[in-house]
Amino acid sequence: MMNWSEKIVSGAATVESVLVDLVAILAPWLAPVPSAYLVYRAAIEVLEWYPAVALAAAIAIEAIGVTSVVNALRLWDWNSFRSKARGEKGDRRAPFGLAAVVCGIYVVVTIGLTVLMDVIPTLAYVAPGIFPLLALVGGLNIALRNGQKQREAERSERLAKRSNKRSRSNKSVQANVQNSVQAESKNVQHSVQPINENVQLNGQSGVQATDQIVQTVKGFGTKNGLETANGVLTSKNGISELPDTDPLNVLLNAMKANPNASYRTLGEAAGRSKGWVHGHVQTLIGEGRVSKNGKGWEILNDES
């Protein structure tokens, strides 16, 4: 905790800082007042101008002075940054030399008007010839300021284009990476899908595999007239058994249940294509396990 004396010292330091900042802000604007007053008084007393015109001349002289100095420093700072950036590509060099000449003309005009109209009144008749130089200084300041604004606008536009180009490049890279990831993911899915299908067909266990085969055989038996209840799903003694999951055995059972079944019907019963059934039937015939006569399909050496 600070005691009261420390608080007073801290408060005084804060007030001092505020006052110094205030003086630093106001003093530069008060500095031209004396010379402006000298020009104003001389314009009224020596040149016998109207007070309004004399006031406008005094304000114009000092305002142009401030503008000349600010422009010169602004152009100097631009060129200095441009040199440090080592050719920020596209930046045009600012005409600081011209700005320095403008400042010199302003100093000559101001001193000339003050000396001629206030210090040496006998030379006051020369003063009107100096005011056109003041107009020239004002015009050059306007041109220098507009030119600098244009250079700064060009830099801002160039930086914006560069930023947009970089942003589009980053988006393009991100899109390419995303497309690559998606393509790789699809490849992985395509590689895994056959494995999953094989697992689903061959890796189901217990009641799930049994239920699938039972429903398949039942469905084909119902739709195509295959009598599968005694030959496939039950044993001779009537005790329920799990059906055979081998498609070849399912084919044999389907042929036994419906001797007149076509290749298409047998393929539907075995869950295979018509070409598969035709090829395996020929193999079974060659092995002497199946024959076809006027009564249809006949299973030879049937042990069931």
Q: What is the pLDDT of residues 138-157, one digit of tens each?
A: 889 899 999 989 888 888 88
Domain borders along the chain are 17-167, 206-299
pLDDT in tens, 154-211: 888 888 888 888 877 777 777 777 777 776 666 656 655 555 555 454 544 444 544 5
Q: Say yes or no to pLDDT of 277 above 70.
A: yes
φ, ψ dihedrals at 48, nearest 5°: 60, 45
Instruction: Give the three-class secondary structure for 290.
Output: strand
Residue appearing with tokens 């244009």 = 150
Query: Using only C-alpha atoms, what is the Rg of the chain?
Result: 52
Task: Looking at the chain, list the stretches that DSSP marks H as alpha helix, in order from N- to C-terminal side.
Answer: 4-30, 33-45, 51-84, 96-114, 131-202, 206-224, 247-257, 263-270, 274-286
Percent of the chain with pLDDT over 70: 71
Nearest to 232 by CA among 74, 245, 202: 245
- Give mean pLDDT, residues 110-133: 73
- pLDDT category at 214 given cuts 50, 70, 90 is very low
Q: Averaged over 7-26, what is the pLDDT?
A: 85
pLDDT beyond 50 at 225: no
Averaged confidence pLDDT in the chain: 75
Q: Determine the pLDDT at residue 178.
A: 74
Does residue 59 or residue 270 have the better pLDDT? 59
- Whether the CB-CB separation of 60 and 138 falls below 8 Å is answered with yes
**181: which DSSP letter?**
H
Higher pLDDT, 59 or 42: 59
> 6-10, 124-128, 206-210, 230-234 — which is least confidently predicted?
230-234
90 near 154, Cβ under 8 Å? yes
Confidence of residue 218 (pLDDT cuts 50, 70, 90): very low
CATH, domain range 206-299: 1.10.10
Retrieve residue 292's tokens.
Answer: 């076809």
CA dihedral for 255, 258, 264, 267, sign (positive or negative): negative
Query: What separation in angstroms does the CA of 180 have from each of 167, 168, 172, 173, 189?
Result: 20, 18, 12, 11, 14
Distance (Å, rounded) from C-alpha 250 to C-alpha 232?
A: 8
